[in-house]
């Protein structure tokens, strides 16, 4: 597998955004207003710095679909949140879903840039075994 410096930098940036979001949720889940502000700020930064196009559309779609799914599951009694705001979910959750979609998109696009190494010893399809 061939990992260029640029691809390595992109993967590191994506990992940093994931770690920041996870840390925000883990450390601030009891303060809905603070966590919502942090998630919005991290989402804006992610849209500005993660590679690829269409970030806003993916973010909004992820936030909407994720929120609807969460609200349906909470209303069905599948789980509940300790600090719900609206529809049984915390105010920060739609922004977290937006970030999840951005990260999945960015990681998929970056991973597609990784190419298998070519070996001079490898058989070509026309070579006999």
Reported as a single tens digit per residue, the pLDDT across 103-112 is 999 999 998 8
In a domain, 106, yes or no: yes
pLDDT tens digits along 71-80: 999 999 999 9
In a domain, 118, yes or no: no
In a domain, 88, yes or no: yes
Per the structure, the count of domains in the chain is: 1
In a domain, 126, yes or no: no
pLDDT tens digits along 24-70: 999 999 999 999 999 999 999 999 988 777 889 999 999 999 999 99
Per residue, the 3-state secondary structure of the chain, as one string, reads: CECCHHHHHHHHHHHHHHHHHHHHHHHHCCCHHHHHHHHHHHHHHHHHHCCCCCHHHHHHHHHHHHHHHHHHHHHCCCCCCCCCCECCECCCHHHHHHHHHHHHHHHHHHHCCCECCCCCCCCCCCCCC
Domain that holds residue 51: 5-110
């Amino acid at each position: 597998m061939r990992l260029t410096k640029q691809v390595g930098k992109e993967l590191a940036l994506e990992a940093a955004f994931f770690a920041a979001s996870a840390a925000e949720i883990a450390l601030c889940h009891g303060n809905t207003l603070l966590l919502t502000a942090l998630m919005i700020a991290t989402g804006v930064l992610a849209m500005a710095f993660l590679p690829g196009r269409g970030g806003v559309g993916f973010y909004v779609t992820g936030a909407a679909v994720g929120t609807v799914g969460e609200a349906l599951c909470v209303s069905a009694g599948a789980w509940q949140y300790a600090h719900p705001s609206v529809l049984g979910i915390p105010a920060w959750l739609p922004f977290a879903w937006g970030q999840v979609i951005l990260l999945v998109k960015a990681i998929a696009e970056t991973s597609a840039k990784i190419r298998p190494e070519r070996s001079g010893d490898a058989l070509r399809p026309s070579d006999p075994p």
